[in-house]
């Protein structure tokens, strides 16, 4: 079997998920389809970030003609290079779109940024394709499942009316009523009514006091058994992050996410040493970056994203590496339905999985652009079936409705 095409299409529509009281923005998704000469195709999702579609076009130029079963080899070649000779049909020199291919060595050898994000989406489509070819669910390609369903944790950022106690109660109680048992708030969006200097990486006592008050309302509403997490979005200096974590101790939070800018594992290790709450990091990390943070004792919980870490098999590698250090793995999720289902396949096949993030519960089209033989969520989980590959098909009416201007449906 050979890869004959790698195509993308952009979906675009409204986004109702609010941050810090803001609502009413828009959201884009890049959908990927990998075709083969056997008539079998795979579907993937990529984040619509700058450079991603260029990198996918590059992959098309380089990997058409390649055996789609060589999933790990293709990812490795893209991210880490190989020595020549390369496969016979790889294009060299100037490719369509005036993208220059590296004439020797590797296509890119760039294991971060748009190359890594593009590679993640194409890998997802290849894994779907191989599962369909072998007539087995993707989780069986990853070693088989430990569980039948993956727990979803709902990211709510904050309610629109952050100063009103009832808004916090309503958001908490609606999440629990919908069947979820874990949720997350964004620290930096919880008290924008007391925001100080936005540049100096501090958090004021006024903000801290409001955050404690609002999270206490949530804890009292949900009771002692509900898992609550908070995300700092890499916004704070180490001193203030430690102060904040220590004040939040009585709320018994599951994790304190990305407290400091993630380029310095030593600062994060400093926070971790004094934080009473487990430190969770890594939503944009590759496997190599997790290794660095674990070696610097800078994290308690790993948090890769299937759209950013290199794809499903790379995420499985990260899970195993964490497992060898007796560290749990949560999964960041900024993706739509396809990314959530792909991550769930990895989640059920990873021993140390604890929760998969989903953002877009208020924005139906992002969860509806693919269909399968089960609802996306039931009782706060993604339940996986024995359908081959990722077990999804494009929902054509939804894709047509939200196709971005100038785009063509696959």
Where do runs of H (alpha helix) occur along 250-363?
A: 265-274, 287-295, 312-324, 337-348
Q: Which stretch binds Mg ion (CB under 5 A): 25-33, 105-113, 136-144, 228-236?
A: 228-236
- Dihedral sign, CA of 192, 279, 323, 110? positive
According to DSSP H, which parts of 193-232 are helical?
205-222
Q: CA-to-CA distance for 77 and 318, rounded, in angstroms?
A: 18
List the structure tokens of 56. Answer: 């996918």
Q: Of the ranges 112-120, 167-175, 223-231, 261-269, which one interacts with Mg ion (CB under 5 A)?
A: 223-231
* 3 state DSSP class of 162: coil
Query: Hey, which residues does 153 pair with through a beta bridge?
Result: 357
Determine, following the binding rule CB under 5 A, whether residue 155 of this chain makes contact with Mg ion: no
Report d(CA 378, CA 383) in Å as an integer.
Answer: 7
Cα–Cα nearest to 310, from 81, 62, 121: 121
Nearer to Mg ion, 123 or 231 (CB): 231
- Nearer CB in complex with Mg ion: 130/254: 254
- Contact present, 316 and 291 (Cβ < 8 Å): no
Stretch that binds Mg ion, among 194-202, 204-212, 225-233, 355-363 (CB under 5 A): 225-233
List helix spans (H) across 149-286.
165-177, 187-190, 205-222, 238-247, 265-274
Query: Closest distance between Mg ion and the C-beta of residue 183, in Å?
Result: 13
Smallest distance, Mg ion to C-beta of residue 156, A: 13
Question: Of 188 and 283, which CB lies nearer to Mg ion in the complex structure?
Answer: 283
Which of 231, 240, 305, 314 is close enough to bind Mg ion by CB under 5 A?
A: 231
Tell which residue, 150, 121, 159, 149, has the closest CA to residue 362.
Answer: 159
Site for Mg ion in 371-390 (CB under 5 A): none
User: By C-beta, is 116 or 262 nearer to Mg ion?
Assistant: 262
Alpha-carbon distances of 336 from 29, 117, 243, 296, rounded to whole Å: 8, 15, 35, 33
Least separation in angstroms between residue 354's CB and Mg ion is 15
Q: How far is the CB of 19 from Mg ion (least distance, A)?
A: 12
CB of 117 to Mg ion, least distance (A): 16
Q: Are 250 and 212 in contact (CB under 8 A)?
A: no
Q: Which is nearer to Mg ion, 45 or 283 (CB)?
A: 283
Segment interacting with Mg ion, rule: CB under 5 A, options 69-77, 164-172, 194-202, 224-232: 224-232
Q: Under rule CB under 5 A, which residues in 89-118 are in contact with Mg ion?
A: none
Minimum separation from the CB atom of position 323 to Mg ion (A):
22
3-state secondary structure of 353: strand
SS3 call for 229: strand
Q: If binding means CB under 5 A, how many residues of this protein chain bind Mg ion?
A: 2
Min dist. Cβ of residue 133 to Mg ion (A): 35
Q: C-beta of 353: minimal distance to Mg ion in Å?
A: 17
- Cα–Cα distance measured from residue 187 to residue 367, given in angstroms and rounded to the nearest whole number: 25
CB 258 to Mg ion: min, Å: 5
Task: Tell me which stretch binds Mg ion (CB under 5 A): 49-57, 150-158, 276-284, 343-351.
Answer: 276-284
Phi-psi region of 230 (alpha: psi -120 to 50; beta: other; left: phi over 0): beta
Minimum gap (Å) between residue 394 Cβ and Mg ion: 28
Q: Choose the binding region for Mg ion from 16-24, 62-70, 229-237, 339-347 (rule: CB under 5 A).
A: 229-237
- Residue 284 has which token pair? 């944009």
Stretch of 164-172, 204-212, 231-239, 364-372 lying at the interface with Mg ion (CB under 5 A): 231-239
Give the per-residue contact string, 278-307, with Mg ion (x = CB under 5 A; - = no).
Answer: -----x------------------------
By the 10 Å C-beta count (0-12 exposed, 13-18 middle, 19+ buried), 194 is classed as middle
Task: Output DSSP code: residue 258.
Answer: -
User: Residue 45 or 231: which CB sits closer to Mg ion?
Assistant: 231
Binding site for Mg ion (CB under 5 A): 231, 283
């Amino acid at each position: 079997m050979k890869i004959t095409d790698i195509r993308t299409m952009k979906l675009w529509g409204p986004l109702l998920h609010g941050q810090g009281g803001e609502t009413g923005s828009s959201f884009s998704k890049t959908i990927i389809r990998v075709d083969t000469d056997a008539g079998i195709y795979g579907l993937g999702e990529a984040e619509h970030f700058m450079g991603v579609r260029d990198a996918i076009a590059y992959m098309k130029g380089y990997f058409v003609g390649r055996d789609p079963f060589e999933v790990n080899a293709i990812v490795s070649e893209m991210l880490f290079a190989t020595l020549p000779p390369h496969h016979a049909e790889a294009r060299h020199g100037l490719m369509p779109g005036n993208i220059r291919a590296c004439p020797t060595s590797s296509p890119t050898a760039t294991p971060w940024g748009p190359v890594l994000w593009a590679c993640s989406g194409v890998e997802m489509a290849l894994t779907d394709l191989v599962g369909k070819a072998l007539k087995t669910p993707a989780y069986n390609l990853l070693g088989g499942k430990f569980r039948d369903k993956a727990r979803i944790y709902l990211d709510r950022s904050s309610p629109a009316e952050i100063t009103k106690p009832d808004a916090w109660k309503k958001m908490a109680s609606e999440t629990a009523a919908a069947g979820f048992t874990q949720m997350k708030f964004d620290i930096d969006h919880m008290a924008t009514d007391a925001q100080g200097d936005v540049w100096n990486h501090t958090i004021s006592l006024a903000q801290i006091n409001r955050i404690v008050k609002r999270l206490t309302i949530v804890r009292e509403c949900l009771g002692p058994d509900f898992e609550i997490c908070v995300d700092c979005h890499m916004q704070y200096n180490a001193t203030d992050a430690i102060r904040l974590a220590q004040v939040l101790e009585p709320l018994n939070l599951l994790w304190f996410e990305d407290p400091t800018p993630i380029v310095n594992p030593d600062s994060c290790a400093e926070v971790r040493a004094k934080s009473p709450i487990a430190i969770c990091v890594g939503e944009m990390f590759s496997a190599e970056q997790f290794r660095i943070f674990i070696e610097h004792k800078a994290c308690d919980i790993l948090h890769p994203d299937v759209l950013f870490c290199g794809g499903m098999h790379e995420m499985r590698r990260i899970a195993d590496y964490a497992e060898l250090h007796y560290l749990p793995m949560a999964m960041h999720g900024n993706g739509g339905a396809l990314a959530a289902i792909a991550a769930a396949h990895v989640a059920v096949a990873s021993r140390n999985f604890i929760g998969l993030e989903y953002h877009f519960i208020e924005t139906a089209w992002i969860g509806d652009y693919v269909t399968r033989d089960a609802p996306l969520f039931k009782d706060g989980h993604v339940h996986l079936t024995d359908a081959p590959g990722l077990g999804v098909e494009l929902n054509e009416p939804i894709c047509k409705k939200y196709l971005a201007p100038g785009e063509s449906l696959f």
